[in-house]
Structure 1
Amino acid sequence: MTTRTGQRGVGPLLRDWRGRRRMSQLDLATSAEVSTRHLSYVETGRSTPSRELIIHLATHLDVPHREQNDLLLAAGYAPAYSELGLTSPTMRPVVATLESMLEAMEPNPTLVMDRHWNLVMANESAFAWTRLVAPELLGPPLNVIRMTLHPDGLASAIDDLDEVAAHLVHRLRRQLGVTGDPVIADLLAEAESLVTTTVDPVDFPNADAAIEVRLTVDGEVRQYLSVVSTFGTALDVTASELVIETFFDVTDRRT
């Protein structure tokens, strides 16, 4: 069976995830309440895990939905989570919710991005920023990392570019560590090639939470607080990977 993980069996894949999480067999066996011996047999292919055990171990390894599906496919089981496009009729409630959120957040610029930082949806205030960006960077797909850090993108208008760049690099490193996604690895390499920041990305332990961004537009400095949210309980792969980022205008206009 050919899957997104190639021909590798579920045992080696689980072992890879355990290594990525820096857990010993004893750590995982204790956390998941399975015997170390049985876990060893699963990882070496001497024992075929049940569908339930795969999901159980994946949950304790914090494996994302997409990669949990890959584990199940590698073992010959059906995926646990659907993977529908946003144009699917089943996804209409998700799209309607996003549209309502985008409208409600006006005039604060708000973006919806997919797993690879490609723009999926945005409100009018966010689209207004694209006039600061060279046309060749606007896609499709419009990649938010590239649009932000490229010299012909928003970079020239961001006053605190060092901090913003370090924050984004840290988020990409965290995402790569969680997913192992080769596309994210390429995007991280591109981001690191675009920045010359002296700010250490490790200074952002809460990189997925919030950061202040100062943007100069038409000679006026605007200060925004960026806040990230997700569909944390989504049972569809596409929905679970969406990231909503809102830039709340916190500019002090006192004279």
Structure 2
Amino acid sequence: MVAIPPRSNPPSPSLGQLLREWRTLRRQSQLDLALAAEMSTRHLSCIETGKARPSREALGRIAATLDMPLRARNALLLAAGYAPEYAERDWAAPALERMRHAVELILAHQEPYPAFVLDREWNVLMANGAAARVNRLLMDGRESRHANLLHQVFDPEDFRPAIANWSAVAEKFLHHLHAQLAAAPTDPVPRRLLAEIARYPDVPALGSPHDGEAPAPVLTLEFRSHAGGLRFFETITTFSMPHDVTLQELRIECAFPADAHTAAVCARLAREDAAAAA
């Protein structure tokens, strides 16, 4: 079973705790961070111990040096008594309309192959027609029980039986979740998601053996279907240099056929869908 580091519900970490945590993650000493953030080691030490309150500008330099994501930068500001700098809007907010339009174009151009959009909690926010068509094929026309990709993959009564190489796929998702947790130890989301999927049966342990086979350059997702086996590989697109927490955490996943048969099935499904709509 997947191992979940135990953690109760602690109070919000102090500024010093956050700085020490991020320095440890980035493997930086106080001296390294102080030099890069253009401050004295003594001043940084006083900030970490709560004896000094940094300015917003100083916190910005520290966050940039530590390459902290926007959500963590907001947490750093809050811990120091400042208002957050970066907005976190709902994906449906009017302010993000142009970004949604750009994502819709990406999804449309991915046809006839699947593409979908995930938020930081692995919820599927948008999907193109190809994703819906392939899902219907793999699920024998049934709808998924979940709007969350992790639950779709790990639930034996959902998408999981259609995944021929489920153990390898499950391990890939577990690695992603543990990487999320390692990148932001105070973020409760990956810990909660790990706990939720651990309740499903036969969840593999990380680092499972693969019969001594050399790993492929990318993981191929292999599916069972009435149209024969389907094989896809995926790419992930993110926004470049966003100034919004939601946009930074958004992922656009595009699936590409790994063989000619899969490409032909996707093209046939698209033709059949277009003929039915005509």
TM-score bin (small chain):
0.7 to 0.9
Aligned pairs for 1:179-190 within 5 A: 179-180=184-185, 181-190=187-196
Equivalent residue number for residue 253 of structure 2: 245
- Which residue is equivalent to 2:271? none
Cα RMSD for the two superposed structures:
2.6
Residue 125 of structure 2 is matched in structure 1 by 120
For residues 198 and 38 of structure 1, the distance between their equivalents in structure 2, rounded to whole angstroms, comes to 44
Residue 230 of structure 1 corresponds to which residue in structure 2?
A: 238
> Which sits farther off after the overlay, 8-17 or 244-253?
8-17
1:52 and 2:60 equivalent?
no
- SS of 1:253's equivalent in the other structure is helix
Aligned to 2:225: 217
Letter in 2 for 1:189: A
Q: Which amino acid aligns with 1:69?
A: N
1:1-255 correspondence to structure 2 within 5 Å: 8-131=13-136, 132=139, 137-138=145-146, 142-180=147-185, 181-194=187-200, 195-197=202-204, 200=207, 210-253=218-261
1:11-50 CA-partner distances (Å, limit 9, x unpaired): 3322232234443323323443432211111111111111
Tell me, in whole angstroms, the C-alpha distance in 2 between the residues paired with 1:108 and 1:249: 7
**TM-score normalized by the length of structure 1:** 0.84
Q: Deviations over 1:137-192 (max 9, x none)?
A: 22xxx110110121112221111112111111101111111123212112123334
Greater relative contact order (Cα < 8 A, sep 6+): 2
Q: Distance in 2 between matches of 1:175 and 1:198?
A: 17
The alignment's TM-score, normalised by the length of structure 2, stands at: 0.78
Aligned residues: 242
1:46-71 Cα offsets, whole Å, 9 max, x none, are 11111011121112222210121121
Q: Cα distance, 1:95 vs. partner?
A: 0.6
Contact 2:89 2:246 (C-alpha < 8 Å) held by counterparts: yes
Distance, in Å, in 1 between the alignment partners of 2:199 and 2:218 is 24
Q: Which amino acid aligns with 2:68?
A: V
The 3-state SS of whatever aligns with 1:246 is strand
